[in-house]
Amino acid sequence: MKKKTLEDLNVKGKKVLVRVDFNVPIIDGVISDDNRIIQALPTINYLLEENAKVILLSHLGRIKSEADLAKNSLEPVAKRLQELLGKDVLFVNQTRGAELEAAINNMKESEVVMLQNTRYEDLDGKKESKNDPALGAYWASLGDVFVNDAFGTAHRSHASNVGIANCLEAAAGFLMEKELKYIGDTVDKPERPFVAILGGAKVSDKINVIENLLIKADKILIGGGMAYTFMKAQGHNIGTSLCENDKLELANTILAKANGKIILPVDVVVTKEFAEDAPFRATGYKGLKEDEMGLDIGPKTIKLFTKELKGAKTVVWNGPMGVFEFANFAKGTEAVCEVLANLKGARTIIGGGDSAAAAIQMGYRDKFTHISTGGGASLEFLEGKKLPGVESLNDQEECNCGSGCDCEHE
């Protein structure tokens, strides 16, 4: 059964609690990447146009001590949101209390209030992260209906998503709906050929993703640090490259099960030290020296991956091909970005995390069908897991007219 979406709710004049994911990087009070804020604008603007009273909740970073409070304040986010909306956003430096309640009770239609970081509640017993029922019920008491638009936290059962949803009519916002459609529907009902690209550091982080995609994808291209575990398992020399030695047997089991579906790098870009300006070269595994480490896929692998992607109609990518933060080791990741950006007639999905950051950083933000805002959530969704933040939303009512129409239900 499908979940209720924003347009299933009557929001006119109502106090609408919206869980957004504004967990953005902030350096010295300046937001370095506002993609998650931008992605939430369609939901917020819709509610404002419908004359709702919009009450925003989000987390930012982790709160383990008093020192974490100031550096993880949502005030800079409220200011940026105000700029993007072109209207006032009232920031309340509380997660509960009289000041917050008064601000909400005094709201007029089409106004916006933002609470302080929900994880401020974690300073005393992790009430937010452990889904304290009383906290979820308190936040729910501040509104009339709940919209969850924070796909990035959908894999967590927190007071600000599941806790509130347990107490109010709850629906998916436009971003949540978009994420579920693009990642879920794309993987479950892909147009073929369907190629998955997996990178990142560890095989252990992606075991379940690989297992799930082996059933659904036609090919899986593997790069990044995780590739070296597979290569060592096959008997190749990998020097000092990243490797999970306790996963070598598992890697061979996966390769056997893949029956040729998995495509591994044939060459790598190596260096002797983990540094941006370290001397580097491309080599096959036989030419890799014992004191060298691989930090990117090589030019022959780029050609191989480009060939495997040619003609693909569905591509899901999760994880960079190398240490893209260093210019000398970003060529593999950039090449994948370029190939996908120019793949005609294909649905291309980036599953959040570092691959999304890389694509945006390299100027490919608008070149993909969808770039997910969820790292861990995207990963678990690709594994085929059910997400608590999604499961807690209300189901849509089924139409019994038998014609598949868009009936309005009582």
Q: What are the residue numbers of the active site?
A: 36, 202, 353, 376
**Quick one: which H or E segment has residue 179?**
helix 174-179
In whole angstroms, what is the distance from residue 310 CA to residue 312 CA? 6
**Dihedral, 334, 337, 339, 340 alpha carbons, nearest 10:** 170
Residue for token pair 């997660």: 95
Q: How far is CA 280 from CA 95, 111, 283, 291, 298, in A?
A: 50, 55, 10, 12, 11
Residue for token pair 């309340």: 92
Q: Would you say 223 and 265 are in contact if contact means Cβ atoms under 8 Å apart?
A: yes
148 in helix, strand or coil?
strand
In whole angstroms, what is the distance from residue 125 CA to residue 119 CA? 11
Q: Which long-range contacts (CB under 8 A, 24 or more apart) does 129-133 make?
A: 129/156, 129/158, 130/159, 131/157, 131/158, 131/159, 131/162, 131/163, 132/159, 132/163, 133/159, 133/163, 133/166
Dihedral over Cα of 238, 239, 242, 246: its sign? positive
Q: Tell me which DSSP letter residue 160 carries.
A: I
Beta bridge partners of 268: 283, 297
Q: Would you say 285 and 301 are in contact if contact means Cβ atoms under 8 Å apart?
A: no
96 in helix, strand or coil?
coil
Beta bridge partners of 31: 26
* CB neighbours of residue 188 within 10 Å: 9
